[in-house]
Chain A
Amino acid sequence: MPLAYPSQRVAYPYFVIALLLFVLQVIVGIWLALSYAVTMPQGLVDILPFSTTRAFHTNLLVLWLLLGFMGSTYFMAPEESERDIFSPALAYLQLALLVATGVAALVGFFFGWTKGKPLLEIPFPLDYLVVVGALIFLFNVGMTMLRSKRWTVIQGSLFGGLIFLAVMYLFNLPFYANLSIDWYYWWWVIHLWVEGAWELVAAALTAWILIKITGVPRETVEKWLYVELGLFLFTGIAGTGHHYYWLGAPKYWLWVGGVFSALEPVPILLMLVDAWHYVRNRKGQLNGKLVFTFAVGMAILHFVGAGLWGFAHTLPQINYYTHGSQVTVAHGHIAFFGAYVLLNLMFFYYAMPKLEGLTAFNERRGTLAFWWLSLAMIAMTLAFTIAGVLQTYIERVMGLGYMTAQAQMRFWFAILVALGLMLLIGVVLAVLDLLTLRPAPASESR
């Protein structure tokens, strides 16, 4: 099946690079788990400390997810705007710039060149190059949409989310002398990304895919999209307060953060119910069973990870003991996986066959990869959670030493190394499948 618009092709290199970085991220993750489980020799730690490899792991995550979002946007924008991308050349230039910046940053980390702020380690002036890349992207997408004959809620949510995302990154650029204020604005980037801007992007991409595969009228989908976005932003913006309990901010954040973030699962639940509703009321046959599997898996794990695991430690009375422990790590892994990893993979599975010129593709390997990945991540989350509960109880409640708690958690990190290897198998399977999609067997093709 030819593409509706030839310029959608620019998405392809974005997806390929994102997938390769994903594999790399998981390999580094296994190394991190290993560093917790066994004793790394002092000589090795002096050359390649945990801090460097952790910076690799988190920056690879952010880079590949963002490249995935950008590729997805370039794929979707022409169909929504009913015209080709404003400038495919700019899209390739932007990709080259961002990848070059990312590679320079990763190599730099190895040599100790860092801003030294978790997740936002990319140092000056590379951080400004990221901004330049983002501006090129926004300009290109904005021009595509502005020159379009129509304006849809999905376009609005997507473009609004992308602008929101870029604006929030600006709060990372200055140097803050006061540590508390530094972290206050660090969360404007991190929290307002994952529980604000990225949710807008995710909701738009998901709504678009659901229209495509279920044939439910756009009117219905876009109406509920408005409600979801309203609830996401209502709970998400003031919900930033759940990070302000213990950083030297006034006491009222305990109330504001507690109340608003307790409501944060509501829009995610609505998203889940919506997806279910659309599928039940679909017009005719599902257009792509695997994409649908990813969509439902995403909706469920998004709710479990961001909703349930987030809620579990968001109230101040509990967070006082769990803050900054492996409980956070458990939540972080399942929430990112459920909300954004599966979102990207879902979109790739929708777009890649079309980019490779296939009408229908063989879904066997992809289905196996989905279950393998998801089950491995669920098992990892449980292992992190057990480690986190042990840490919380031994270190925070009983008041024993940090390493006393770590000794009890060590076993679970050994388990995590094994589970990480399982996850890697699933990731490699999904990536290989996406890069070498095969046509559907004759009996299945329609």
Chain B
Amino acid sequence: MSWKTARWIFYLGTFISLVLFLALTVDTHRQIRALTHADQLSDQVVAGKRVWHKYNCNDCHTILGFGSYYGPDVTKVYWRRGAEGVKAVVRTPEKFTTWRKMPHLPLTEQELGDLVTFLKWTSEIDTQDWPPQDQKFRPAAGRAVALGVGPGASLFQEKGCFACHRMHETGGQLGPDLTHVGSRLSYETIEKVLTDPRSVNPQGAMPPVSLSQEERNELSAFLAKMK
């Protein structure tokens, strides 16, 4: 190979790759607004992103698969745990961890709310169905709501019940499957469990759920109808 050819390989190789890369970057900027629902990128989402950075969450957890691998990926954590589920873990990590610990982080309630809003927005980014392990949680909210039994269904998603319980093949396996809970437990028993889980099963591991009286009624009614 001559010296001249070598130099041409350098100039052409660099130029072609650079032009292609910059052109696609421009196009990506055009498309990414829709792919990330940038119209829903509210001030609260941005505030939540700052909280995410402030407590260096990303050096234990991955988000969009990037970061550190010490804790589970949080891209779709909103699907898995719901708003209250995420808040509960951050408030009392020791209740949700076994042999690998998460630190107590001094988030204010305001910061916690912002963080959850940010994670909810993140869960809606079109990631080409990544990560594979969380795809089973995707229909969680939709499936329950589609049953058409009232706002209790969305509370079930919102309060993080899916983190431990399964319903129609979706959800966690720490607690019992609740697809047919209505045929096992009465409305009153379910309400008792939701008020104080230990009052029904003293050995149980279910943490107390923070619900208003109205929410408790809605959720109990929803679960009692799951027959």
Interface: B65 (CB within 8 A) = yes
Contact of B21 among A183, A238, A396 (CB under 8 A): A238
Interface: A46 (CB within 8 A) = yes
CB pair B103 A45 closer than 8 Å: yes
A244 nearest CB neighbor, chain B only: B28
Interface: A115 (CB within 8 A) = yes
- A94-120 CB mask vs B (1 if < 8 Å, else 0) is 000000000000000000101111100
- Report which residue of A35, A183, A226, A251 has the largest number of chain B beta carbons within 10 angstroms of its beta carbon: A226
CB pair B10 A50 closer than 8 Å: no
Q: What are 24 A-B residue pairs whose CB atoms fall within 8 Å in the complex?
A: A35-B70, A36-B70, A42-B94, A45-B102, A51-B56, A51-B58, A51-B59, A51-B68, A118-B59, A118-B68, A180-B125, A233-B14, A235-B17, A237-B14, A237-B17, A237-B18, A237-B21, A248-B36, A248-B127, A251-B128, A324-B62, A324-B131, A396-B132, A399-B136
Q: How far is the CB of B129 from chain A (nearest CB, A)?
A: 8
Listed from nearest, the 3 A-B pairs whose CB atoms lie closest are: A116-B53, A324-B65, A234-B13
B7 nearest CB neighbor, chain A only: A226
* Chain B neighbourhood of A224, CB < 8 A: 6
A224 nearest CB neighbor, chain B only: B6
CB pair B21 A248 closer than 8 Å: no
- Report which residue of A230, A252, A325, A329 has the largest number of chain B beta carbons within 10 angstroms of its beta carbon: A230
CB pair B13 A233 closer than 8 Å: yes
Assuming A45-B102, A178-B36, A223-B6, is B57 touching A116 (CB within 8 A)?
A: yes
* Chain B neighbourhood of A235, CB < 8 A: 17
Q: How far is the CB of A274 from chain B (nearest CB, A)?
A: 12
CA of A260 to CA of B100, assembled, Å: 39
* Chain A neighbourhood of B62, CB < 8 A: 324
CA of A428 to CA of B183, assembled, Å: 67
12 further contact pairs, Cβ within 8 A, besides A233-B17, A247-B64: A46-B104, A50-B70, A51-B57, A114-B53, A180-B35, A184-B25, A184-B28, A227-B9, A230-B11, A233-B14, A246-B131, A254-B128
Contact of A121 among B49, B59, B125, B131 (CB under 8 A): B59
* Chain A neighbourhood of B29, CB < 8 A: 181
CA of A40 to CA of B58, assembled, Å: 19
CB pair B35 A250 closer than 8 Å: yes
CA of A36 to CA of B141, assembled, Å: 33
Q: Please classify the interface of chain A as helix (H, G, I), strand (E, B), loop, or mixed, using the class held by over half of its residues.
A: helix
How many contacts between A and B, using CB within 8 angstroms? 212
* Chain A neighbourhood of B12, CB < 8 A: 230
Contact of B101 among A39, A320, A326, A397 (CB under 8 A): A39
Using a Cβ–Cβ cut-off of 8 Å, how many residues does chain A contribute to the interface with B? 77
Assuming A114-B56, A246-B128, is B66 touching A406 (CB within 8 A)?
A: no
CA of A407 to CA of B103, assembled, Å: 20
List B39-72 residues whose CB lies under 8 Å from chain A.
41, 46, 49, 52-60, 62-72
B contact residues, range: 35 or more
CA of A403 to CA of B73, assembled, Å: 12
Interface: A186 (CB within 8 A) = yes
Q: How far is the CB of A158 from chain B (nearest CB, A)?
A: 15
- Report which residue of B7, B13, B52, B54 has the largest number of chain A beta carbons within 10 angstroms of its beta carbon: B13
* Chain A neighbourhood of B94, CB < 8 A: 42
Assuming A54-B70, A181-B32, is B56 touching A46 (CB within 8 A)?
A: no
B25 nearest CB neighbor, chain A only: A184
Interface: A219 (CB within 8 A) = yes
* Chain A neighbourhood of B103, CB < 8 A: 45-46, 49
Interface: B185 (CB within 8 A) = no
CB pair A45 B32 closer than 8 Å: no
A48 nearest CB neighbor, chain B only: B103
- Report which residue of A46, A50, A247, A248 has the largest number of chain B beta carbons within 10 angstroms of its beta carbon: A248
* Chain B neighbourhood of A249, CB < 8 A: 28, 31-32, 35
CB pair A55 B59 closer than 8 Å: yes
- A235-265 CB mask vs B (1 if < 8 Å, else 0) is 1111011011111111111101000100000
Interface: B98 (CB within 8 A) = yes
CB pair B36 A226 closer than 8 Å: no
B45 nearest CB neighbor, chain A only: A177
Assuming A39-B101, A247-B64, A248-B36, is B133 touching A238 (CB within 8 A)?
A: no
B66 nearest CB neighbor, chain A only: A183
- Report which residue of B11, B21, B73, B172 has the largest number of chain A beta carbons within 10 angstroms of its beta carbon: B21
* Chain B neighbourhood of A39, CB < 8 A: 99-101
CB pair A238 B20 closer than 8 Å: yes
Interface: A129 (CB within 8 A) = no
Interface: B220 (CB within 8 A) = no
CB pair B67 A177 closer than 8 Å: no
CA of A168 to CA of B188, assembled, Å: 62
